[in-house]
Structure 1
Amino acid sequence: MTKKLTKIGVALGLATATMALGGGALAQDCTTKIGAVLPTSVDWGKPIAATAQYAVDLANEAGGVAGCQIEMVLRDSQVDPKVGVDAAKALVDLDGVQLLLGAVSSGVSMPILTSVTVPAGVMQMSCCSSSTAFTGLSEEGKTEGLFYRTFATSGVQAAVGAMAARDQGYKSVAILYKNDDWGQDIGKLVAKDLEALGISVTGSIAINDAQPSYRAEVTEALKGDPEAIYLAIYPTEGTAVVREWLSLGGTQNMIVANALKSDEFRDNVGLQYLGNTIGTDTASPRSDSASAFVDQYSAKFGTEPNGPGLSNSYDATMIALLAMEAAGKDATGADIAAKVETVTDPAGMPISADAAGFAKAKEILSGGGTVMYQGATGNVRFDGNGDVSAPAVMWRFTDSGTEEQRYISLEDVDAFMASVK
C-alpha cells in the first residue's frame, strides 16, 4: 500500500511539473500592442495604414517581437491635429503603447509629439512628416531622442519644386500652401529656393481647411499674373483651390508637392486640366532592396506601391519593430528609440526587409550583434536628429495614376540644395 501511494505521489508530482512547464509555455504566448495614428478616412491614407499592417504581419510570421506577437491598434487621424492628438492619447493612456507609428502630415505629428509622446516617454516613428521644425526641436533637445522619420525633410521637395520651375523656364510663380506646420515650412523653403534661382515669387498664400470658398485666396494669388503656381496642399482643399483657380482664368502650369499625388485629386479636377502639372516626391534609391519591395508589395496587394508614403510606411514600421526586438520584452519607448542605431548600423549584418530577414535579425540581435536594415527606401540612415535624406522624382498624372518623368539621385539632390544655399 505504501509503495502504491508513493507511485501515485510521484505520478502526481510529474503531472504537476508537466502542468507547470505547460503554463510556462502558455505564458510565452503573449501580445504586445503598438499604436498607429494614420488617416484611414482618406483614399490615399488607407494604403499607408495597410502597408504598416503588412510589415507587422511579416514580423509576426517571423516569430513576433521580443517573444510576443504584435497587435497594431490603428486609429484614424482624419488629417486633423485635434483628432490625431485625441487618438494618440487613447493609444498611450488606454492601450499602454510604448511605440506610436504616425502621423501623416507634420501638422498632426507635431502636436502628438509635443503633447503626447514626449511627455509620456513613448517612441514616435513617422513615415510621412517632413517639416524642418522637427529638426529644430531635436536640436533644442525637446524630442528627447524619441522621434524618428523615414521621410526626408521638406527641403528636398522644395528644392526639386524649384528645380522643376527652372527647367520649365518659368520666370514667376505664386505659392499656395496648407496653413499648418508642413505647409508653412515647405512654402517658406520653396520661396527661398525659387528666389535663389532668380524666379520671382508673386505671392505666397495660406490655405485653411474646410473653407466654403477659396475665391479670396485664389484672387490674391492671381494678382501678380504668375506663369505658374506651386501647390503644397492636400487633395480636398486642393481640388477646391484648383477648380477656383482655373475658373478665374489661372494658368494650367502647376508644380505640386507629393500630397497631391492622389487619384482623388486627379479625378475631381479632371486629367484634361492637369497636362502641364509636374509633381515632386522623394524616391527610393535604385537599389536591389527597393526593387525587391516593389515585387513583394505587388504580390501582396496586386498593384505597385505608387501612392505617397508607402515605402516610407513600410520601412518606418519594420525599423521600429526591429528596434523593439533589440530592446527586449517590456521595453520602454526610450529603450526602443535607443536601439534604432543597432538595427540601422552601416557596419552591421545586412538583412532583407521581409519575414526571412526579420527572422535572421532576431537571431543576430539575440547574440548581441547589430544589423544593417536594407529596405524599401534602401539602407536607411538616421542622423542625430532622427532625419533621413533621399533621392527625388518628378512625375506627371496619367489615366491610371502617375508616371515618373525624372529621377534625381541623392548626390544630385544634395548638390542642387547646396547650390541654392
Structure 2
Amino acid sequence: MTTFGMVKTAGVAFGLAVGFSGAAMAQDCTTKIGAVLPTSVDWGKPIAETAQFVVDQVNEAGGVQGCQIEMVLRDSQVDPKVGVDAAKALVDLDGVQVLLGAVSSGVSMPILTSVTVPAGVAQFSCCSSSGAFTALAEEGKTNGLWFRTFATSGVQAAVGAKVAKDQGYKSVAVLYKNDDWGQDIGKLVAENLKAHGIEVTGSVAINDAQPSYRAEVTEALAGEPEAIYLAIYPTEGSSVVREWVSLGGTQNMILANSLKSDEFRDNVGLQYLGNAHGTDTASPRVESADAFVASYKARFASEPNGPGLANSYDATMIALLAMEAAGKDARGADIAAAVSRVTDPAGTPVTADAAGFAAARDILAGGGSVLYQGATGNVRFDANGDVSAPAVVWTFTETGTEEASYITLEEVDALMASTN
C-alpha cells in the first residue's frame, strides 16, 4: 500500500502529492476539497488513499473546471470532537465547498449538523450507515447537502440476522459501539434476530478506550448465548473478543464490516476466528465494479479488501463530477443540486476513470447529463441521499478475507422486506 507524503501531526492536514499530466501542469489554478477521514487507524488510511487516487485521476484528466484539485486531508481519529474541529478548519480556513467524510456515523453526524449544513457545504460520506441520517433528511434538516455511497445499517443488520439463522443459532448476544452507528445497527440487528425467532440474550454497549471490558463481557455471557454479534471497531473489538474468549465465550461470531480488519484478526488470533462470519455491503457483479478492482490493483498492488474502498472511490468521483457539472466557483448547494446530473439513469454512461471524467466534462459542457458507472455500479441516490446495495458474507484468512456468499440487491431488498 502506498503512503501519504509529508505526514504532519494528527489532526493536521496531510500534504498530498498530486500527479499532473502535461496539460494539467500548464494550469495555474487550484481548487481545494476537504476530507475528514480516520487515517490514524489501519482500516481508515486506505479509504483516504482511495479518495486521493480519484483526485489524481481527475487531475490527469485536466482537473475540475480547468483547475487542479487539491484534497486537504485531516485525521478524524474516529473522535467526534476532533472530526468537527477538522471540518471547521477545512470550511473556515481552506474555504472548501465539498467535504468527504467522515467514516463513523458518530463523527459524520456532528460534522453535518454543526459544520457543513450551517455553512452550506456539500458532504459526501463513503461509509456512514446510521439510519439517523435518513431521519434527519426526511425532516428537511440536511438541506439536500448530504450524500452517502454506503447503504444504511439496515442492510448489514438484515444480513447479520440471516447469518445467525443460516448457522442455526437459537440465541445471540449483541455487543455494539456506544455511538450513533453502533446504537442504530445494534437495535436493528436485535429486531431482525427476533423476527427470525432467535432469542437476543442481551444487548451491551461498548465505550471507547476502556482499560478493560470484563464487566461488559461478563454481562453478555450471563445469558449463555450460542453466538455473539459484534458491531464495534478493531481496537475495542480486539480487547472485547480477547476477554470473551478468555472467559469461555463461544467462538460463534457475527461481525459487522467495521471488524473487516487485519489489525483485529492479528490482535485476536486467527485460531479464535475460525467460526466468525462477517457482513458487508458489496459492489454489484457488473463490469464497472470489476474495472475498479483492476485499476485499484494496478495503483496499490493489492486487492481492495478493506471496508469502504469502493464506496470511497464513488463518493469522491461523484463529488468531483458534480463540481464539474455545477460550474466554476460553485457553492456547496449548487454542487449538491448537480449530483442528479451526474447520476442520471437517462444520461450518457461514463466510466470510473480519467477517460470517463474527461468524457463527462464534454457531455456536461454541452448541456447533457451522465450516468456514472462506478466501483459500486450505477449509483442512484434517493431523496435522502441514500443508496441501497448488494451484500456479502465473508470470513477471515491468513492474508485477509474471502467471500463466503454473495447476496444480490434484489435478495437484500426481499430480505429486508420480510423482516420488516
Other-structure match for 1:160: 159
2: CA distance, partners of 1:159 / 1:75: 33
Is residue 144 of structure 2 the alignment partner of residue 142 of structure 1? no
What is the SS of the residue equivalent to 1:41? coil
What is the SS of the residue equivalent to 2:74? strand
Q: CA deviation at 1:371?
A: 0.2
Q: CA deviation at 1:304?
A: 1.1
Equivalent pair of 2:27/2:68 in contact (CA under 8 Å): no
Other-structure match for 2:240: 241
2: CA distance, partners of 1:214 / 1:304: 34
Amino acid at match of 1:148: F
Is residue 173 of structure 2 the alignment partner of residue 174 of structure 1? yes
1:12-34 deviation digits (Å, cap 9, x = unpaired)? xxxxxxxxxxxxx9996200000
Q: CA deviation at 1:166?
A: 0.2
Other-structure match for 1:276: 275
Other-structure match for 1:108: 107
1:364-396 deviation digits (Å, cap 9, x = unpaired)? 000000000000000000000000000000000
1:275-295 deviation digits (Å, cap 9, x = unpaired)? 000000000000000001000
Equivalent pair of 2:43/2:261 in contact (CA under 8 Å): yes
Quickly say closer, same or farther: Cα 1:365–1:258, change in 2 above 3 A: same
2: CA distance, partners of 1:299 / 1:94: 35
What is the SS of the residue equivalent to 2:31? strand
Amino acid at match of 1:186: I
Equivalent pair of 2:28/2:67 in contact (CA under 8 Å): yes
Equivalent pair of 2:381/2:387 in contact (CA under 8 Å): yes
Equivalences for 1:254-293 in 2 at 5 Å?
Answer: 254-293=253-292
Other-structure match for 2:84: 85
What is the SS of the residue equivalent to 1:417? helix
1: CA distance, partners of 2:394 / 2:32: 38
1:232-280 deviation digits (Å, cap 9, x = unpaired)? 0000000000000011110000000000000000000000000000000
Amino acid at match of 1:152: A
2: CA distance, partners of 1:389 / 1:61: 31
Amino acid at match of 1:402: T
Other-structure match for 1:47: 46
Q: What percent identity do the matched residue pairs reach?
A: 82
* Larger-Rg structure: 1
2: CA distance, partners of 1:275 / 1:27: 55
Quickly say closer, same or farther: Cα 1:401–1:367, change in 2 above 3 A: same
Equivalences for 1:4-403 in 2 at 5 Å?
Answer: 29-403=28-402
What is the SS of the residue equivalent to 2:129? coil
Structure 2 portions without partners, runs of 5+: 1-23
Q: Cα RMSD between the aligned structures?
A: 1.1
TM normalised by structure 2 equals 0.94
Amino acid at match of 2:203: S
Q: CA deviation at 1:113?
A: 0.2
Q: CA deviation at 1:351?
A: 0.2
Other-structure match for 1:415: 414
What is the SS of the residue equivalent to 2:404? strand
TM normalised by structure 1 equals 0.93
Equivalent pair of 2:158/2:189 in contact (CA under 8 Å): yes
Quickly say closer, same or farther: Cα 1:227–1:121, change in 2 above 3 A: same
Q: CA deviation at 1:218?
A: 0.4
What is the SS of the residue equivalent to 2:274? coil
What is the SS of the residue equivalent to 1:266? helix
1:37-74 deviation digits (Å, cap 9, x = unpaired)? 00000111110000000000000100100121100000
1:72-95 deviation digits (Å, cap 9, x = unpaired)? 000000001010000000000000
1:201-224 deviation digits (Å, cap 9, x = unpaired)? 000000000001101100000010
What is the SS of the residue equivalent to 1:125? strand
1: CA distance, partners of 2:272 / 2:386: 36
What is the SS of the residue equivalent to 1:35? strand
Report which of the two has the higher share of helix.
1
1: CA distance, partners of 2:289 / 2:414: 23
Other-structure match for 1:16: none
2: CA distance, partners of 1:274 / 1:67: 50
Amino acid at match of 2:69: I
What is the SS of the residue equivalent to 2:63? coil
1: CA distance, partners of 2:66 / 2:99: 19
1: CA distance, partners of 2:379 / 2:93: 32
1: CA distance, partners of 2:321 / 2:103: 21
Q: CA deviation at 1:327?
A: 0.4
Amino acid at match of 1:192: E
What is the SS of the residue equivalent to 1:339? helix
Structure 1 portions without partners, runs of 5+: 1-24
